Amino acid sequence: MVRETRLSPADMIAPLFVRHGSGLREPIPSMPGQYHLSVDQLVSECTDLHALGVPAVILFGLPAYKDEAAAEAYADEGIVQLGLRAVREAVPEMILITDVCLCQYMSHGHCGVLLDGQVDNDVTLELLAQVAVSHALAGADVVAPSDMMDGRVGAIRGALDNEGLSGTAIMAYSAKFASAFYGPFRDAAHSAPQEGDRRGYQMDPANAREALREVELDVAEGADMVMVKPAMPYLDVLRRVRESTQVPVAAYQVSGEYAMIEAASAQGLIDRRAAVLESLTAIRRAGADLILTYYAGQVAKWLS
């Protein structure tokens, strides 16, 4: 009765990985319990999540090909676009969010276009805007740019509005830190940069004030929601962001946070269910309105 913070499946967003092919549900070795799903399996996963009360998913694509222009990222028959159309048709009420980034589609694995070995911020903006428009046309309700280029929210908002897609919302990965906790995801999404790292565009883990500035800029450019990522190592940032902005704040419990709980509980070192519920409650208590978590479906079952 006196509990201050409650968890509900209604606050959760399930990240899902979609691949080409059919009838495929391939386990992801770095993320036990998570799968690469072909479109038909994605549809059944979304049907189940919706029935459990999870209102939203965020889609990550595994393209058939990678090149230096990230062409499949904005192709009409790209894997995310195919997944969007299928889920939109089968589970019309599901809120469809897409990760807008280029790293999974680039042969070099960086989140932007490389010119002379460096990510070119402004050239990248045009491609990101193209990706967002193509996702929205295929049925995305919300596009979530995770690339961390400067000015991308404004570029995407402008491009969506030009195409008459003013109803498509933007969830900005605003405070996205250059984190070691993305390791298992990069295996899962085949998106590790081949050379260098992402510290040129993602944030320094030491900086909290800078996170507030990133949030402020994204909101000014038209972000409808902002995100802090990862979640648990950045609860202080989450709290400060919650206090500094009026838009909904999401937190991403990332692959490394997930993998740590899975590994420790598989070894009998911690109680899996208690650790999952405690971590998510802590993220909500720190200020998250919404949580992106690989545990969304699992938690919905526990709470039902």
Which residue stretches of 163-208 are H helix? 183-188
Residues of span 87-106 touching ligand PBG by CB under 6 A: 99, 101, 103
Residues of span 178-197 touching ligand PBG by CB under 6 A: 182, 185-186, 191
Residue 301 catalytic?
Answer: no
34 is an interface residue for ligand PBG by CB under 6 A: no
Among 146, 174, 279, 293, binds ligand PBG (CB under 6 A): 146
Catalytic, out of 229, 232, 255, 294: 229
Q: Which is nearer to ligand PBG, 16 or 111 (CB)?
A: 111
SS3 172: strand
Q: By CB under 6 A, how many residues form the interface with ligand PBG?
A: 12
Q: How far is the CB of 259 from ligand PBG (least distance, A)?
A: 9
SS3 229: strand
How distant, in Å, are the alpha carbons of 58, 181, 234 from that of 281? 21, 20, 14
Among 254, 288, 296, 300, binds ligand PBG (CB under 6 A): 254
Query: In whole angstroms, what is the distance from residue 144 CA to residue 244 CA?
Result: 21
Amino acid identity of 166? Answer: S
List, in order, residues 6 or more apart from 257 with CB less than 8 Å away. Answer: 181, 230, 231, 232, 279
x/- string (CB under 6 A) for ligand PBG, residues 52-71?
--------------------
Among 38, 255, 279, 293, binds ligand PBG (CB under 6 A): 255
Phi, psi torsion values for 56, nearest 5 degrees? -145, 150
Q: Which is nearer to ligand PBG, 120 or 243 (CB)?
A: 120
Residue 176 catalytic?
Answer: yes
171 is an interface residue for ligand PBG by CB under 6 A: no
Q: How far is the CB of 189 from ligand PBG (least distance, A)?
A: 7
Contact 25, 35 (CB under 8 A): yes
Q: How far apart are the first and last CA of the chain?
A: 18
Which residue stretches of the chain are H helix? 39-52, 79-90, 121-138, 152-162, 183-188, 209-221, 235-244, 255-266, 272-286, 296-303
Q: How far is the CB of 179 from ligand PBG (least distance, A)?
A: 8
* Contact set with ligand PBG (CB under 6 A): 99, 101, 103, 111, 146, 182, 185-186, 191, 198, 254-255
Kindly list the catalytic residues.
176, 229
